[in-house]
Amino acid sequence: MFTEKLLMHFPRELVQQPILSVVTREFDITFNIISARITENEEGVMKVELRGKRQDVQAATRYIREKGVTVRSLSKFIRIDKDLCTDCGACVVHCPTAALYCDEGRAVVFDKKKCIACELCRTACPFHAVVVAHIEEAERV
């Protein structure tokens, strides 16, 4: 099973279209919506995890993009600045997916593959070590 966490930006004219449900029917994948909201300019912003065979997930992603949705990899949004991190572990307890954890030496480790960019760690970090990339900086996939 291949999973990919994505951030999708639906332009205003696409907000009313059932793109994700079409994708699940056409490409034999399942999805899990991490969060979804409508912005002030009536765009849709959705964090989604797609699951399925690798080629199906990739084909689905291509289809979504061709429809006019901007798709970016979610795992690249959050970065831990190791120069600022003191390894206190204040973030670890708030991470809902265990992407942040302590190793045997109590140092904080970040597994970005598990990250859903919820930013709870950013709120908990006393040292500004959680860096959230601007949407423009994140890699398009």
Partner 1 sequence: MTKSYEEINERIKKGKAVVVTAEEMISVVKDRGVRAAAREVDVVTTGTFGPMCSSGAFINVGHTRPKMKIRHATIGGVPVFGGLAAVDFYIGATEVAEDDPLNRVFPGEFRYGGGHLIEDLIAGRRLRLVARAYGTDCYPRRELDTEITIKDLNEAVLVNPRNAYQNYNVAVNAHSSRPIYTYMGVLVPNMANANYCSAGQLSPLLNDPHYRTIGIGTRIFLGGAVGYVYWHGTQHDPTTARNERGVPTGGAGTIAVVGDMKKMSTEFIRGASLRGYGVSLAVGIGIPIPVLDMEMARYTAVSDRDITAPVIDYSRAYPEARQETLGQVSYAELRSGRIDLKGTEVKTGSLSSYPKAKRIAETLKGWIEAGSFALSPPAELLPQADSSHAFKPMKPPRRSRRKKP
Farthest CA pair distance, the chain: 51
Shorter beta-carbon distance to partner 1: residue 30 or 86: 86
Size of the chain in residues: 141
Give me the phi and psi of 24, to 5 degrees please.
Answer: -65, -35
Shorter beta-carbon distance to partner 1: residue 55 or 86: 86
CA distance 141 to 122: 25
| Least distance CB 49 / partner 1 (angstroms) | 23
Shorter beta-carbon distance to partner 1: residue 7 or 91: 91
Nearest-10 crossing angle of helices 54-66, 19-27:
150
| Least distance CB 52 / partner 1 (angstroms) | 32
| Least distance CB 130 / partner 1 (angstroms) | 12
Shorter beta-carbon distance to partner 1: residue 34 or 92: 92
| Least distance CB 127 / partner 1 (angstroms) | 6
The one-letter amino acid code at 98 reads: A
CA distance 37 to 123: 20
Name the residues that contact partner 1, by CB under 8 A. 86-94, 102, 105-107, 123-124, 126-128
